[in-house]
A and B are shown apart, each in its own frame.
Chain A
Amino acid sequence: MAVVTLDRISKRFGGGAPPAVDDVSLTVRDGEFMVLLGPSGCGKSTTLRMIAGLESITSGTLMIDGVVMNSVPAKSRDIAMVFQSYALYPHMTVRDNLTFGLRRRAIDRAEIKRRVDAVADMLGLTPYLDRRPYALSGGQRQRVALGRAVVRDPKVFLFDEPLSNLDAALRVRTRNELIRQYQRLRATMIYVTHDQVEAMTMGTRICVMNQGRIVQVGAPLEVYNNPADTFVASFIGNPPMNLMKAELASASGVVAARFAGVSAALPGFGERDLAPLASPAAIIGFRPEDVYVARPEGADAARFASVRVAALAAEPLGAETLLVVSLSGEGEELVARVGRDVRASAGEPITLWLDLTQAHLFDPQTTRALTRSIET
């Protein structure tokens, strides 16, 4: 168990390229499952590798349990890593793969055997102990990779997109396995992924990164419900949040927005909240699940705004339907998550209802979110 502190960590590769990791500061609490989430090239893997010691740190300080680790070699940091490609030693049996790291650390034989047997049992690897990696399935290999890390009993576990190489069904099963192990071990774990479903289901906190910088850190639902900017808003959530251009006006303490032919007052926003804006132009966002085909019964009229649209396509997914519509005017599109029985044909005019209490506002210059100050 350990606390990992990154203090203004940067990584520059030579050649005048922009920094891969730019001024990242983060504290991973003891026993926390921190997910580094972001698109490819955002610097999350580089950050992880710097924590591991596989990549040197250009500037900034890395501390594990208060001890500065910048120049400590990887093998002495008491961390274990699970790689995307499992990185099992192909010429050794499963048992040897598990014991290799322990043997090199001068732990006595009996203890090694005890640990290996315990871990193999816990991960269901006992029948495979004498096989070589090539004779194992992808899921089994991943469990061996995990076992190799667990058996080391390290301070910190690092995961570098370990589920990317698995097919969908296996990914779900292995993900649950990882969650189970986390709950058993309650160790500090740092997990890198580009898959937001993994981030949402596994992390105690998510750290969203983009272009080398941290954009937002928070609990999964916090990040989902209150995205810090348009990037987080559209990255998390599938289908992504619908973003539209809007014009804001405030009068007598009420903020009203005009967008896509709709004019409505936005509950929860006060005049002060608009202060960062340079002009009345803003971006308004609605998540697909906050767009309805019919006003829910008994709902407060002021909560919903209706908008007339033309349907483009209805994609029945079985449990629900995704409705893609075209907004009048700008030619923007909107995606709504609606019930599984909804049908629409192309070009058909429909009325949709937007839940204004769930509206998100963003500053178009800085892309940052505007917060609500009034309780609703």
Chain B
Amino acid sequence: MALAKRWRASVGEGQAWGAIMAFLLPALLFFLLFTAYPIAKTIYNSFHIIRPNRPDEFVGFGNYAQVLFADAYFTQSLVNTLIWATVAPIVDVTLGLLLAACLYARLPCARFFRVAWFSPVLISYVVIGVLWLWIYNFDWGVVNTLLRALGLGAWAHVWLGDPNTALWALILVDAWKWVGFHMVVCLAALSSLPREVIEAADLDNCGWFAKLVHIEIPMLKTTLVSLLILAFIGKMKIFDLVWIMTKGGPLWSTETLATYTFKRAFEWSTLDLGYPSAIAVLSFVLVIVFVLALSWLLRQRGRLEF
């Protein structure tokens, strides 16, 4: 009885249930059919061996055990992805913030820089991948040509062919794409800081750098934290770039969770969808755990009322 009363109280008089359902239904349907259901299916898969034209074989945690303890490729791809997802956000956001601070100093033609630096964000990873394949080319790519022209020919490298440098070469390309994004967001956040506090810092004898470190960064903490978390989530999903440039090679040095899952599900001839599903579920759990941990770790203490 009490429950029904509470329900009615929160629903209110003559609630337009028809309208609510009509508005919500399409989006909800998409969500249920193409997001929720596939996730459920993938979780289901992970506990089975799924082969075409054969009934699904239940194996309990068998797949998981194999993935976690007997799969060197998974371990490698996990390490690679985690390196990417921790190093890249820091690099991206730091560079973005520094560039934004440069533009914030009211330079002439700031608008031109902003537009130019943002352009890589709009381009597909596939185009970027091919372009940078050429840039990293040993014989005639930009990097090596530049090094040779500067007399540093000894440093010329097969950047994508050396297991030691391949991952970092890819991280550089990814940074090239995304720094502009972080720069734009940081610039907007900087511009929204109360002008008078910045002027007070000016009067307090703060140079450009001191102002950045002591005043602007502390006041931008919320934005920076959410950028870091967003970047982390994005890097955990990386597939396109790796697929075009190295396909996970050389020697698994650039294999990510996504590429490994893809290979196991659609490329290798094992034809079992259960195993890669287990990998996918593990990736998913990992992302959730890390995002929650990051949010908790970097949470705001105290308010920053202006």
Contact = CB atoms under 8 A, between A and B. Distances in A.
Contacts of B304: 90-91, 134
Given A90-B304, A132-B302, A83 B199 contact: yes
B205 interface: yes
A75 B199 contact: no
Nearest to B204: A101
Contacts of B215: 89
Given A87-B200, A89-B197, A91-B219, A133 B305 contact: yes
Given A101-B204, A105-B205, A87 B302 contact: no
Contacts of A211: none
A80 B203 contact: yes
Contacts of B218: 91
Nearest to A102: B204
Nearest to A85: B196
Interface string A74-92: 1110011101110111110
B306 to A, nearest CB: 6
A134 B203 contact: no
A331 B299 CA distance: 67
A52 interface: yes
B194 interface: yes
A184 interface: no
Contacts of B305: 90, 133-134
Given A84-B196, A91-B304, A104-B210, A75 B219 contact: no
Contacts of A100: 204, 214
Of A76, A90, A132, most B-chain CB atoms within 10 Å? A90
A119 B305 CA distance: 24
Nearest to B219: A91
Given A89-B215, A90-B219, A90-B305, A75 B205 contact: yes
Interface in B181-238: 194, 196-197, 199-206, 210, 214-215, 218-219, 221
Interface in B148-204: 194, 196-197, 199-204
A54 B202 contact: yes
A75 B202 contact: yes
B203 A52 contact: yes
Contacts of A134: 302-305
B181 to A, nearest CB: 26
A54 B306 CA distance: 20
Interface string B22-55: 0000000000000000000000000000000000
Contacts of B196: 83-85, 87
Interface residues of A, number: 24
A91 B215 CA distance: 8
Contacts of B197: 87-90
Nearest to A105: B205
A104 B210 CA distance: 9
A104 B205 contact: yes
Of B202, B203, B204, B205, most A-chain CB atoms within 10 Å? B203
Contacts of A105: 205
A83 B199 CA distance: 9
A79 B204 CA distance: 10
Interface in A109-150: 132-134, 148
Contacts of A87: 194, 196-197, 199-200
Contacts of B221: 91
Interface string B261-276: 0000000000000000
A89 B200 contact: yes
A101 B205 contact: yes
Interface in B253-286: none
B299 to A, nearest CB: 15
A249 to B, nearest CB: 56
Interface string A216-237: 0000000000000000000000
B203 A79 contact: yes
Interface in A54-99: 54, 74-76, 79-81, 83-85, 87-91
Nearest to B197: A87
Nearest to A91: B218
Given A89-B215, A91-B218, A101 B302 contact: no
A104 B204 contact: yes
Contacts of A85: 194, 196, 306
Nearest to A101: B204
A52 B204 CA distance: 12
A70 B219 CA distance: 31
Contacts of B206: 75, 104
B155 to A, nearest CB: 42
Contacts of A52: 203
A126 B304 CA distance: 22
Contacts of A104: 204-206, 210
Given A85-B194, A91-B218, A54 B199 contact: yes
A241 to B, nearest CB: 35
A134 B219 CA distance: 13
A52 B196 CA distance: 13
Given A87-B194, A90-B304, A134-B303, A81 B219 contact: no
A4 to B, nearest CB: 16
A74 B202 contact: yes
B207 to A, nearest CB: 9
23 contacts: A52-B203, A54-B202, A75-B202, A75-B204, A80-B203, A81-B199, A83-B196, A83-B200, A85-B196, A87-B197, A88-B200, A89-B201, A89-B215, A90-B219, A90-B304, A90-B305, A91-B219, A91-B221, A91-B304, A101-B203, A101-B205, A134-B305, A148-B200
Given A88-B200, A100-B204, A104-B206, 13 more contacts: A54-B203, A75-B203, A83-B200, A84-B196, A85-B196, A90-B219, A90-B305, A91-B218, A91-B221, A104-B204, A134-B302, A134-B303, A134-B305
Interface of A: 52, 54, 74-76, 79-81, 83-85, 87-91, 100-101, 104-105, 132-134, 148
Question: 7 closest Cβ contacts across the A-B interface?
Answer: A101-B204, A87-B196, A134-B305, A87-B200, A75-B205, A91-B218, A104-B205
